[in-house]
Amino acid sequence: MVALRPLAMVVLELLHESPMHPYEIQQKIRERQLGRLTKVTVGSLYHAVEKLEKDQLIEVVETSRDGKRPERTTYQLTELGVDTFRAEVLANVSEVTPEYPRFAMAVQHLHTLRQDEAVTELRRRASALKKKLAVTDVTIAELTMHDVEPVFWIDYDYTRAMRQAELDWVERLIDRLTNGGLRWPDAVHRRIEELEEDRR
């Protein structure tokens, strides 16, 4: 099976609805804000379409011209395209694979910071998460106002839920750190103090 990049997945998703030309795909991406999961430019979109055609996941239905406008090539899914897309979606929904988020790695090493420093940075993260939640809520409201079916932006619900869960966890961690529920290792504290003393 061909490895599918996020933008290729977006193109194949849209072509499930009907054959389209790249400009129409671009309009749908903008209308449904599908660029939230991958960076989309005109160049990257046309490159993705060309690669999908080369890999025989999509094929040309027709090429037409409207007046003096440039030619427009309309594409549709191939049987291989449907099967490849379906396999990718099924695997990503059902399989729990290792992911390596930077925040989880930072949390793993959090005890190497001074405790007050850790609390300060965690408060910054909590503030940033609240802002992102607010932006997500505005976006969901806009999509709802424009009558975009919720099934097309269900990942926003997922993203919002994950951010809310992370915010709740971060705020609980801050509380544990400030109320003595989580103690920093003494050896690490001493080492940090020694390093800071050496720098003076």
Residues of the chain with pLDDT under 50: none
Hey, which residues does 20 pair with through a beta bridge? Answer: 75
**pLDDT, tens only, 124-136:** 999 999 999 999 9
Q: Look up residue 170 and give its two tokens.
A: 């971060």
User: Which domains can be identified in the chain, with CATH numbers?
Assistant: 6-94 (1.10.10.10), 102-199 (no CATH)
* Cα 135 to Cα 103, 131, 142, distances in angstroms: 20, 6, 11
What pLDDT does residue 74 have?
95
Stretch (H or E) spanning 61: strand 58-64
Long-range contacts of 89-92 (CB under 8 A, 24+ apart): 89/9
